[in-house]
Amino acid sequence: MLAKKIHLPLYIIASLLFGLKTYIVYRFVFNISLDNVVQELILFINPFVSAFLVFALCVLFKEKRQAKFIRYIALIGSIVIYFNLVFYRNFTDFITIPVLFQGSNAADLGSSVLDLISITDILLFADVAIIWYLSVKFKSKLTVSYNKRNKAFAITMAITLLVVNYALAEAERPQLLQRTFDREYLVKNIGLFNYHIYDIVLHSKTEVQRVFADGNDVPDIKNYIDENIKSDVQSDLFGVAKGKNVIFISLESLQSFVINNTVNGKEVTPFLNDLIGDSYYFENFYHQTAQGKTSDSEFLIENSLYPLPRGAVFFTHGQNEYNATPELLKEEGYYSSVFHANNKSFWNRDVMYQSLGYDNFFDVESYEVTEDNSIGWGLKDKPFFEQSIKYLQTIPQPFYSKFITLTNHYPFELAEEDATIDQYDSNSRTLNQYFQTARYTDEAVEQFFEQLKQSGIYEDSIIVLMGDHYGISEFHNKAMSMYLDKDEISPYDHIQLQRVPFFIHIPGQEGKTISDIAGQIDVKPTLLHLLGIEDKGDITFGTDLFSDNQKDFIALRNGDFVSDNYIYSDGICYDRGSGEVLEESLDSVPEDELEDSVCEPIKEQVRTELSYSDQIIYGDLLRFYDFGQ
């Protein structure tokens, strides 16, 4: 009886089931913002269009192979969605081809991946089970004849739907495919699977970019930097730390919202709070990382270049020519090293560190790691610093040494005996646990300061501390709004949450809190300025943070920005001080109406800067540049 009631071909049934499932994931699992009814319509249409486009290809096969093709396409498509779903839960982003090549990292993720998986995820494959059942139960009854008429109908319909979908998307978001830094908009408008196809094309294009690159683009980039970024004016702090050791502490996932804040009535970071009074503390300092996270933050601070919009530079361009801080300091007699109790190949560090000019990498093999002194991603921060100090005492001085912590890393696990404050109480286990691991890292840093003093290294060093990237993603906005006592987390609030702590502690120097906007792109020129090292024609996009002529905006990797007066996020222009909306849906405003926009000029400069940085990396352009000129 059921066979008689079914009149639709299997590929249409599969398209409807798969399209409906994909829309549900878009709408209720991915945190995709929708500004109007047209965007809602496009979001609803594109999963069905993508599904029909693929399943309709079955008409190119004879009847007996059609069902098999549909079954496996449904399974593969569901796996693609699921991988994106798990990735999105952690990074609030979609997978790119370069990220897939970083699969070697997955072996080190441990409990992080398991924490992102739910038993209810099996429902994502319900349509696959239905399609398999129908294809086996009714077999030839649901196939279509292998003839020109059916082929023509299916292919014509698929192309027509695709064109209609793209026309709607282009009308809603002009130059959509030129906005590759905004993956959410691509997925929202053309669908997850078409986005992946586009990403493959884009990746192929960038791979050949280096082969055909030459030095002709370098003068334009250098002229832009000289006219818009460089300054010959030196601050009073130039050379204040000349000849001193530099100890750089990368604070895993630490965001500024915990600084001078409490949970359950207790300070989250009491030591760092006190350190503000004895340090140069930048309270409006933003991370600028993308998919490379910690490795992106390292790339930013060492090179003052932006990370890539897709994947991680450490993986995709680890053997490029750079002019990084370790290499520059080596010319001044410095010994450089990295301390990180993780696998040396993670994020391709063993290759990239050589390109950056580091002398030594103390990886996990340098540490004694046991079940008792490790959790989550590995060695706890306190034993990490304890075991590192003996190495620090033996390396030549002056040195430039970077320490990368681990404990305050997703999923923010901590043994009960190590927790000195109670968990927060919200609907997000991630946020609840975050405060405890942040407190533990704070205690570990305090302990390290004491060890530096006892070892005699402290007085001859400057100590820089920086949060590397966000720890709490947009996926936890509901819990975050509860903690911050807000009705919701707006795009304006989201940008403000990208602030991370940045301290420059110089023993003997009075502390000062600096309110100017700043970012990780500024770390390299700022450190070199303090060490008294002259700029010898370097190509950097950051400025010395102690200079009166520093840049008046910070570019985020997705094209958003923070300037002295404005914040631009998700197509909306805000007043930075009040959060008041000044211009709505700026991305959909026709170009001839943008003349009076306050955010558009900065937005265009941000695009220019990101584009120039990308050209340098994709084309390996620094190999053509003489840094002594």
- Chain centroid to CA 276: 27
Instruction: Verify whether residue 262 is a known catalytic residue.
Output: no
The answer to whether 289 and 469 have CB atoms below 8 angstroms apart is yes
Looking up tokens 């709070």 gives 273
pLDDT score at 1: 43
Q: Which residues contact 605 (CB under 8 A, 6 or more apart)?
A: 228, 553
Confidence band (pLDDT; 50, 70, 90) for 3?
very low
Q: Give the integer Cα–Cα distance in Å for 12 and 411.
A: 41
Tell me what pLDDT residue 147 has.
62
Tens-digit pLDDT profile for residues 545-584: 999 888 899 999 999 999 999 999 988 999 999 999 998 8
Digit-coded pLDDT (tens) for 491-518: 999 999 999 999 999 999 999 999 999 9
**In whole angstroms, how far apart are CA 395 and each of 62, 409, 452?**
70, 28, 14
How far apart CA 429 and CA 628 sit, in angstroms, is 52
**87 — pLDDT class (breaks 50, 70, 90):** confident
pLDDT at residue 310, rounded to an integer: 82
Residue 529: per-residue pLDDT: 96
DSSP symbol at 623: G
> Identity (one letter) of the amino acid at 203?
H
From residue 297, how far is each of 178, 301, 343, 607, 619 by CA, in Å? 25, 6, 18, 20, 21
Question: What pLDDT score was predicted for residue 65?
Answer: 83
Structure confidence by residue, pLDDT tens digits, 439-473 = 999 999 999 999 999 999 999 999 999 999 999 99
Q: What is the pLDDT of residue 391?
A: 96
- Bigger pLDDT: 174 vs 311: 311
Residue tagged active-site, from 143, 269, 289, 294: 294
| Count of beta carbons in the 10 Å neighbourhood of residue 245 | 22
Residue spans of the domains in the chain: they are 2-208, 240-541+548-555
With a CB cutoff of 8 Å and minimum separation 6, the contacts of 386 are 447, 451
The answer to whether 608 and 551 have CB atoms below 8 angstroms apart is no
Residues 232-255: what's their mean pLDDT?
94
Residue-averaged pLDDT of the chain = 87
- 43 against 332, higher pLDDT: 332
Please report which confidence band the pLDDT of residue 260 belongs to, taking 50, 70 and 90 as the band edges: very high
Q: What is the DSSP string of 365-406?
A: GGS---STTEETTEE-HHHHHHHHHHHHTTS-SSEEEEEE--
The CATH H-level (homologous superfamily) assignment of domain 240-541+548-555 is Alkaline Phosphatase, subunit A (3.40.720.10)
